[in-house]
Amino acid sequence: MADIKAIVFDVYGTLFDVESIQKACEQHFPGKGEAVSSLWRSKQLEYAFLRQLMGQYEPFNIVTKDALSYALEIHECSYSDEVVQDLMDAYNQLLPYEETEEILRHFQDKKLAVFSNGPDEMLDPLLRNAGFRDYFDAVVSVDEIKQYKPTTASYAYLLKQLHVRRGEVLFLSSNGWDIAGAANFGFHTAWINRKGAPADRLGHKPNMEYNDLNGLIEENNL
C-alpha cells in the first residue's frame, strides 16, 4: 500500500480506551461502574445513529450526556448535576491505549488525522490532556457537517479536508460499523479488532485486521 498518503484514526475505542471511564463510574456508584459505563457507551452510539435517521442532529457531547442519564436511571443510580458533569469531564481524560503514542511517532512521515463523531470541545481537551494534539495535521469532527459516521457525507467531508484522493487514505477504527462505512466510501481500511469479534455483516470487509495498533508497524507495508 505504498500509495497511502494519509492515515486517519477514529478516536473512541481506537486511540483511547472508552472502557477506562469505568473507574470514574465506579467511584461514584460502587458496584455498578462496569454496568453503567457499558450501557453508557452502547446508548451513546445508539442515540447518535437514531438521531441521524430522525434528522434530529445533536452534538456528540449532548448525545453522550443523554446516554449517561439513561444509563444511570436504568441502573437506579441517584445522581446530581455535579455528578453528571464530573463524569462528562472524565470522558475528556480517557486513557490512551499503551501503543498509541509510539504509533503516532512512527508515522510522522505521513499526513495524520483524527476523524471522530465527537465535537471539538470533546476532542481538543482529550488530545491535549494526552499530549497527542501536535502529532496530527488535522482534527476533523462530523460536527462541522452535522452528519454522523457512517454516512457517506461524513467521509466525503473528511476527504475534502485532507486534500488527497480517497485511494490514498488508510482509515483505522475499532468499530466495525465505522470500518464498513469507510470501506463503502472507498478508503483503505484497517480494523483494530481489540476484542476478537466477528466481522459485522454490512457488505464490506477491512483490507487489514489487527489486534491493536501495533499491527501497522509489524506488517511494515505502509
- Positions annotated as catalytic residues are 10
What type of residue sits at position 217? I
Distance between CA 68 and CA 44 in Å, rounded? 8
Distance between CA 206 and CA 169 in Å, rounded? 13
Q: Residue 134 burial by CB count (10 A; 0-12/13-18/19+): exposed, middle or buried?
A: exposed
Q: How many residues does the chain have?
A: 222
Concatenating the DSSP letter of every residue in 74-127 gives HTT----HHHHHHHHHHHTTPEEPTTHHHHHHHTTTSEEEEEESS-HHHHHHHH
CA distance from start to end of the chain: 6
Distance between CA 160 and CA 158 in Å, rounded? 5
Pick from 127, 144, 143: nearest CA to 135 = 127
